[in-house]
Amino acid sequence: MSFVCLLLSTLIAVFFAGSSCDAFSIRTPQSPAVQIQRRRQSLTMSQEGPARQLCSVIWDVDGTLSDSFRLGYDATTTVLGRAVSEEEYHYGTRYTTPERLSRHQGLDPEKDGKEFWEVGNELGRKFDELYISLVTMETAGFFPLLRDVVEELGDRGILQGALTNAAVLYAEAVLKCNGVRPLFRSVQGADTVPKPKPQPDGLFQVCKELGMDPLSCVYVGDSPSDGDASRAAGLFSVGVLWGSHKRETLEGKFDVIVESPEDLREVLSKIVKGENQGLAALKI
Give domain limits for the chain.
56-67+141-282, 69-133
For 56, half-sphere exposure in the C-beta direction (CA atoms, 13 angstrom radius) is 23
Please give the sequence-ordered ranges of beta strands (E in DSSP) within the chain, or none if there are none: 56-59, 159-163, 186-188, 217-221, 236-240, 256-258
Secondary structure class of 141 (helix, strand, coil): coil
Q: Are 93 and 71 in contact (CB under 8 A)?
A: no
pLDDT tens, per residue, the chain with 284 residues: 444 344 333 322 332 233 322 222 222 233 444 444 544 454 444 434 444 445 799 999 999 999 999 999 999 999 999 999 999 999 999 999 999 999 999 999 999 999 999 999 999 999 999 999 999 999 999 999 999 999 999 999 999 999 999 999 999 999 999 999 999 999 999 999 999 999 999 999 999 999 999 999 999 999 999 999 999 999 999 999 999 999 999 999 999 999 999 999 999 998 887 765 445 445 44
**CATH number of the 56-67+141-282 domain:** 3.40.50.1000
Q: Are 35 and 215 in contact (CB under 8 A)?
A: no
Q: What is the pLDDT of residue 162?
A: 98
Q: Are 139 and 70 in contact (CB under 8 A)?
A: yes
Burial class (CB in 10 A: 0-12, 13-18, 19+), 173: buried
Q: Are 269 and 57 in contact (CB under 8 A)?
A: no
Tell me, rounded to whole angstroms, the distance of Cα 136 from its chain centroid: 24
Q: What is the pLDDT of residue 190?
A: 96
In degrees and rounded to multiples of 5, residue 257 shows phi and psi of -120, 130
Q: What is the pLDDT of residue 276?
A: 52
CA-to-CA distance for 207 and 140, rounded, in angstroms?
25
Q: What is the pLDDT of residue 275?
A: 64
SS (H, E, C) 18-65: CCCHHHHHHCCCCCHHHHHHHHHHHHHHCCCCCCCCCCEEEECCECCC
Q: Are 265 and 153 in contact (CB under 8 A)?
A: no
CA-to-CA distance for 178 and 120, rounded, in angstroms?
29
Q: What is the pLDDT of residue 137?
A: 97
